[in-house]
């Protein structure tokens, strides 16, 4: 997650201090999440973080694909993995892409920002491999150089629009969901860049409800720090109306305590209004990430596991809704 430039100056000196069900399944998810966060965060160099994710993908029997790109200062490498369709039947035409940035800043180990997001994507890929979606194929993406200005996601989007470009991908997704700062808390923060995305966000939240239960606590809104969803939203805005890129849905998810989301939104509103941050007014999450305190000890695996269950349910609801939209109208549904 990129921190507002004015806040970054403060942060530079403020770095002080599955077959199981029920509880057994939740504990298993929490253990996997923690293990993956530790594996990614323990790497001293970027290559080690990428290697840790590749090892987890191979354990899932998914083939990691490296997508190099030319950065302004050094070459970067995104990582991609495609969940293969079931042996029987044709692959879905729609694509759900789950993304998270794998790089970090120099301070700390980048556990909250963003080994947690990387681990969440790995967990969801495994679930959609075990029980595939009906109307979407699933692709995982781990972006390089997010902290340098969303360079990896920008490069991916550019390559997706140019099949001849080096490292070209299969194309842009129908639904892109970004995961950034997803490591602890009781509330999802679902960001929607546009009003059309807001509808998808609401449907996602409604889908997080367990059978007969309440939706997972979620704050929905348009204000959100810069992250890898932005290049996807930007290419949509310039796409030809009616084209697949113009119809793409974009969301970004974080997991935090509700009060930290509320104070971060207030901080962003103040920054948009020309305010300047003070150390006393810095949101707690911005006082944690990009500092020496961003280590695995800040992660709460059981909270992340509960949120991942909700995210899976929400994404399955969006998948089902896409199928309903694509279904041909019956005689009762037409106006003829």
Q: Which one, of 60, 70, 168, 112, lies nearest residue 289 by Cα?
A: 112
Q: How far is CA 112 from the centre of its chain?
A: 13
**Which tens digits make up the pLDDT trace of 306-321?**
999 999 999 999 999 9
Q: Which one, of 100, 96, 81, lies nearest residue 134 by Cα?
A: 96
pLDDT recorded at residue 90: 75
Q: What is the mean pLDDT of residues 203-208?
A: 97
Q: Name the CA radius of gyration of the chain, rounded.
A: 19
pTM for the model:
0.89
Q: What is the mean pLDDT of residues 282-287?
A: 92
| 332 lies in some domain | no
Q: Which one, of 295, 306, 215, lies nearest residue 255 by Cα?
A: 306
**Phi, psi torsion values for 138, nearest 5 degrees:** -120, 130
| 333 lies in some domain | no
For tokens 């509700």, the residue is 258
Gap between the Cα atoms of 143 and 234, Å rounded:
17
The secondary element (H helix, E strand) that includes residue 202 is: helix 195-207
Arithmetic mean of pLDDT over the chain: 88
pLDDT recorded at residue 4: 44
| 334 lies in some domain | no
User: 294 or 213, which is more confident?
Assistant: 294
Q: For residue 180, is pLDDT > 60?
A: yes
Query: CB neighbours of 31 closer than 8 A, spacing ≥ 6?
Result: 301
User: 327 or 160, which is more confident?
Assistant: 160
Share of the chain above pLDDT 90, in %: 74
**DSSP per residue, 166-186:** TT--S---SEEEEEEEESS-S
Gap between the Cα atoms of 122 and 14, Å rounded:
32
Q: Which domain holds residue 50?
A: 5-324
**Which tens digits make up the pLDDT trace of 67-121?**
999 989 999 999 999 999 887 677 899 999 999 999 999 999 999 999 999 999 9
Instruction: Work out how many domains the chain is built from and give that number.
Output: 1
Q: For residue 283, is pLDDT > 70?
A: yes
pLDDT recorded at residue 281: 72
User: 279 or 318, which is more confident?
Assistant: 318
Tokens of 176: 């892109």
User: 73 or 305, which is more confident?
Assistant: 305
Specify the range with the lowest mean pLDDT, choosing from 96-105, 107-116, 175-184, 207-216.
Answer: 207-216
Q: What is the mean pLDDT of residues 222-227?
A: 95
Q: Which one, of 98, 116, 132, 90, lies nearest residue 38 by Cα?
A: 116
For tokens 């965060």, the residue is 41
| 336 lies in some domain | no
- Alpha carbon distances (Å) from 229 to 48, 224, 328: 24, 10, 32
pLDDT recorded at residue 226: 95
Q: For residue 277, is pLDDT > 70?
A: no
**CATH code of 90's domain:** 3.40.630.10
| 330 lies in some domain | no
Q: What is the mean pLDDT of residues 287-295?
A: 96
| 104 lies in some domain | yes
| 171 lies in some domain | yes
| 331 lies in some domain | no
Strand positions, DSSP E, 132-275: 136-143, 175-182, 187-191, 218-221, 249-256
Q: For residue 10, is pLDDT > 60?
A: no
**Which tens digits make up the pLDDT trace of 241-256?**
988 899 999 999 999 9
Gap between the Cα atoms of 185 and 197, Å rounded:
24
**Which tens digits make up the pLDDT trace of 25-67?**
789 999 999 999 999 999 989 999 999 999 999 999 999 999 9
pLDDT recorded at residue 2: 60
């Amino acid at each position: 997650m990129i921190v507002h430039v004015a806040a970054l100056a403060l942060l530079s000196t403020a770095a002080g201090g599955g077959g199981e069900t029920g509880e057994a399944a939740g504990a298993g998810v929490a253990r996997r999440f923690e293990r993956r966060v530790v594996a990614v965060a323990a790497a001293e160099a970027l290559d080690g973080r990428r290697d840790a994710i590749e090892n987890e993908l191979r354990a899932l029997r998914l083939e990691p694909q490296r997508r190099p790109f030319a950065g302004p200062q050094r070459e970067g490498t995104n990582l991609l993995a495609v969940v293969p369709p079931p042996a029987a039947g044709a692959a879905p035409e729609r694509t759900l892409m789950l993304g998270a940035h794998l790089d970090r800043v120099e301070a700390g180990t980048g556990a909250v920002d963003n080994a947690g997001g990387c681990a969440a994507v790995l967990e969801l890929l495994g679930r959609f491999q075990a029980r595939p979606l009906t109307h979407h194929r699933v692709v995982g993406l781990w972006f390089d150089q997010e902290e340098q200005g969303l360079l990896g996601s920008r490069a991916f989007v550019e390559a997706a629009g140019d099949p001849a470009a080096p490292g070209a991908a299969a194309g842009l997704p129908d639904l892109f969901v970004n995961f950034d700062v997803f490591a602890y808390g009781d509330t999802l923060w679902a960001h929607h860049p546009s009003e059309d995305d807001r509808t998808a966000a609401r449907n996602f939240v409604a889908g997080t409800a367990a059978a007969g239960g309440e939706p997972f606590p979620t704050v929905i809104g348009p204000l959100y720090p810069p992250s890898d969803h932005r290049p996807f939203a930007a290419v949509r805005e310039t796409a030809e109306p009616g084209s697949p890129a113009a119809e793409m849905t974009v969301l970004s998810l974080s997991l935090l305590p509700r009060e930290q989301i509320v104070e971060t939104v207030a901080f962003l509103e103040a920054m948009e209004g020309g305010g300047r941050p003070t150390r006393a007014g810095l949101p707690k999450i911005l006082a944690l990430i990009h500092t020496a305190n961003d280590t695995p000890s800040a992660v709460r695996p059981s909270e992340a596991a509960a949120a991942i269950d909700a995210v899976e349910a929400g994404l399955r609801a969006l998948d089902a809704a896409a199928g309903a939209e694509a279904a041909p109208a019956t005689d009762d549904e037409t106006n003829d």
